[in-house]
Amino acid sequence: MKKNSAFNRIFTALVFLFLYAPILLLIVFSFNKGNSNTVWAGFSLDWYQKLFRDRLIMQSVYTTLLVSLLATAIATAAGTFAAIGFYSLRRRKRAALTTVNNIPMMNADIVTGVAMCLFFVAFFTLWSDFAVWFNGVQHVIELPTRLTLGFGTLLIAHVTFNIPYVILSVSPKLRQMDKNLVDAAMDLGCTWMQAFWKVILPEIKPGIVSGALTAFTMSVDDFIISYFTAGSSSSTLAMTIYGMTKKRVTPEINAISTLLFVTVLLLLVIVNIREARLERRGGQAAVRRRGPLAQRVSRTLSTPKGQWLRRGTAAALAAAFVISVTVLTSATNAQSVVNVCSWGEYIDEELITQFEEETGIIVNYQTAESNEALYSLLKSGAGDYDVIVPSDYMISQLIEEDMLAELDYGNIPNFDLIDQRFKNLPYDPENKYTVPYAWGTVGIIYNTAMVDEPITSWGAMFDTKYAGNVLMFRNSRDAMATALLYLGYSLNTTDEGELREAFQLLADAKKNGVYQSFVMDEIYQKMEGGNAAIGAYYAGDYLTMLENNEDLAFVIPDEGSNWFMDAMCVLKDAPHKEEAEAWINFIASTDANLANMDYIWYASPNEEALEQYPAYYEELYEEELDPAIYEIMAAPQEILDRCESYLVLPPETRMLYNTLWTELGI
């Protein structure tokens, strides 16, 4: 064949540049002093140090490696046997089974994920009925009645999508194998078991190894299927990253990726250099060896020289198995844990460490995107939490659907510290279920460098003058609220005409290109970086953004706004209710509230903390707290009087919200 021309080579080089530009960027910014992914602030290794202290990330790396190794080991063994079985079947049966086997590979990941999630949850319901009945009729064995998504389901899902890849790479090797070999072995007195071990296995080994490698790569790279099957207690690295891309990705993630990348790169380089050496020695025969990387690695593994590698792999797999068994058994032991689900950037993380040190209870801290998303997580069975921190209207809805547990306030003495005006609020009139966490207002944030007049009306959210520069809420209640406020309707209207009018306002603005995007916590990055001019969001978060961009201003428009209260609740069948109450009590303390106020910039419902905060600030930073900032943080009563809080809507209206919201996306 003719050699490539210079033009062709440049083309190939450009493609590789395209593939690697973002990766190089990631690597470079893992050494950045600042926490930006675009602005270089100098060289540092800080993020690498922080990485090893970050439990959330390390834990998810561990989960990822563990699930990938285990799933690979199981899938490789199972897949090899299955391939041999398939191969020995009659043609028609084999064809039918191969089609079923191809389903997980051909199907879209999201369908596989959703299907498994539905299946697991349905199975859990059946199981719980069965276990209750079973525990009732006999008392010898006590079956657990409540199963949840977790490491087990994650592992099953990974094994299921890995096996087809193993079969795919083993089957061709079986087909290439000389069929007479097995018969000859049997004739010479082998049992079929011996024939398998001594004849078949050595023949198909390269296929097995390359199948295992493919399976492992797929497992590590997977996000979508894990997302639907892992539940809330175990999260893979991909899931942690996904959670972060919604707000700010810490450069620690860049650091861990760089480390993984360099490790794999080194491994591959070593393998390739070894092979190149073999080639030089082996001459002609070896030069012919080409083919996909996986196959070449497998060949390296099966050469005598690769024996140490093989033994290493076997040892690693065995170790992974032992570790996982220990982890699984220790996890099932009643360890002191509490699963908390809150919002992004909504806690001073030092508090978690402090609580763990004081009580020995491990906090598994997760975040949800919005009240509606939290509701979906709870309903679909994907979220298995003890403590949640929903907003007022969602609390009413959860109480209405009997999903919350009544709290034992005897375990929460700090509840007495809560300001009287924040007790017995309409969402929980007798205050049986909740302890307030934080409160605030919704307003418009705008960049004074990009908007030349002060904004005073919600109309700015629909004004084509700012087309392409406006960020709208990505949750139905808040997005509809901006339109309802502008139109002068109540935030709690159930009138279909008014709601449709508000929807039309949003839909028209969207059609006219007003919105740059629909966001939740992505707004931090976009407003701070000056990538958008106007966005509606929460007051406390505005103050966080102000720390990073001084041009930003906040306004509660003339038409009024929403004021909200987020409160901690415990789910009805939470397995760790006592730990949950200990956590709630800890967070309700004045010290924790002060620390939180200082970190998240939301107002505290704790009377002492709210009063003491300006003094606390002065002591900490040795400067006075700007009264204007304090007013945005903890809006005075006359502003709150202009605001309305959300009430729970009747089911038909909620249905309408869902339909309109889905339609808006179309």
Report the residue number, 174 or 338, with the smaller CB distance to another protein. 174
**Diameter over CA atoms, the chain:** 96
Instruction: Please tell me whether residue 661 binds another protein under the rule CB under 8 A.
Output: yes
The total of other beta-carbon atoms located within 10 Å of residue 143's CB is: 14
Report the residue number, 277 or 311, with the smaller CB distance to another protein. 277
Residues 364-383 within binding reach of another protein (CB under 8 A)? 369-370, 372-373, 375-377, 379-380, 382
- Amino acid, single-letter form, for residue 434: T
Query: In whole angstroms, how close is the CB of 555 to another protein at the nearest point?
Result: 23
Angle between helices 307-332 and 293-302 (to 10 degrees): 100
Instruction: Please tell me whether residue 207 binds another protein under the rule CB under 8 A.
Output: no
Query: In whole angstroms, how close is the CB of 597 to another protein at the nearest point?
Result: 28
Contact 543, 625 (CB under 8 A): no
Residues 572-631 within binding reach of another protein (CB under 8 A)? none
Instruction: Please tell me whether residue 226 binds another protein under the rule CB under 8 A.
Output: no
Query: In whole angstroms, how close is the CB of 326 to another protein at the nearest point?
Result: 25
Residues 95-114 within binding reach of another protein (CB under 8 A)? 97, 100-101, 103-112, 114
Report the residue number, 416 or 652, with the smaller CB distance to another protein. 652
Residues 310-329 within binding reach of another protein (CB under 8 A)? none
DSSP symbol at 199: I
Contact 345, 524 (CB under 8 A): yes
Residues 144-173 within binding reach of another protein (CB under 8 A)? 156-157, 160, 163, 165, 168
Report the residue number, 90 or 139, with the smaller CB distance to another protein. 90
Query: In whole angstroms, how close is the CB of 603 to another protein at the nearest point?
Result: 26
Of 367, 476, 482, 604, the one binding another protein by CB under 8 A? 476
Sign of the C-alpha dihedral computed for residues 644, 645, 650 and 651 taken in this order: positive
User: 3-class secondary structure for 231-244?
Assistant: CCCCCCHHHHHHHH
Binding mask 255-294 for another protein (x = CB under 8 A): --x--xx--xx--xx--x--xx--x-------x--xxxxx
Beta-carbon-side half-sphere exposure of residue 565 (alpha carbons within 13 Å): 26
DSSP symbol at 305: G
Cα 632 from Cα 617, distance rounded (Å): 15
Instruction: Please tell me whether residue 204 binds another protein under the rule CB under 8 A.
Output: no
Span interacting with another protein, options 94-102, 350-358, 385-393, 541-549, rule CB under 8 A: 94-102
- 188: tokens are 């010479």
Cα 203 from Cα 175, distance rounded (Å): 11
Report the residue number, 63 or 604, with the smaller CB distance to another protein. 63
Instruction: Please tell me whether residue 249 binds another protein under the rule CB under 8 A.
Output: yes
Instruction: Please tell me whether residue 17 binds another protein under the rule CB under 8 A.
Output: no
Angle between helices 307-332 and 55-88 (to 10 degrees): 110
The total of other beta-carbon atoms located within 10 Å of residue 96's CB is: 11
Q: b/e string for 534-557 if b means 16 or more Cβ within 10 A? A: bbbbbbbbbbbbbeeeeebbbbbb
Instruction: Please tell me whether residue 20 binds another protein under the rule CB under 8 A.
Output: yes
Cα 459 from Cα 451, distance rounded (Å): 14
Residues 519-538 within binding reach of another protein (CB under 8 A)? 519, 529-532
Residues 377-416 within binding reach of another protein (CB under 8 A)? 377, 379-380, 382
Contact 358, 389 (CB under 8 A): no
Relative to beta strand 534-538, strand 643-644 is: unpaired
Cα 366 from Cα 384, distance rounded (Å): 10
Query: In whole angstroms, how close is the CB of 316 to another protein at the nearest point?
Result: 17
- 633: tokens are 């943080």
Instruction: Please tell me whether residue 228 binds another protein under the rule CB under 8 A.
Output: yes
Report the residue number, 278 or 625, with the smaller CB distance to another protein. 278
DSSP letter string, 478-502: HHHHHHHHHHT--TT---HHHHHHH
Report the residue number, 3 or 92, with the smaller CB distance to another protein. 3
Instruction: Please tell me whether residue 417 binds another protein under the rule CB under 8 A.
Output: no
Query: In whole angstroms, how close is the CB of 149 to another protein at the nearest point?
Result: 12
Element (H, E) at 342: strand 337-343
Of 364, 397, 516, 562, the one binding another protein by CB under 8 A? 516
Binding mask 60-79 for another protein (x = CB under 8 A): ------------------xx
Query: In whole angstroms, how close is the CB of 487 to another protein at the nearest point?
Result: 22
Instruction: Please tell me whether residue 116 binds another protein under the rule CB under 8 A.
Output: yes
Of 31, 47, 227, 601, the one binding another protein by CB under 8 A? 227
Of 44, 59, 84, 336, the one binding another protein by CB under 8 A? 84
Angle between helices 307-332 and 151-176 (to 10 degrees): 150
Q: Contacts with another protein: how many residues (CB under 8 A)?
A: 128
Cα 411 from Cα 585, distance rounded (Å): 7
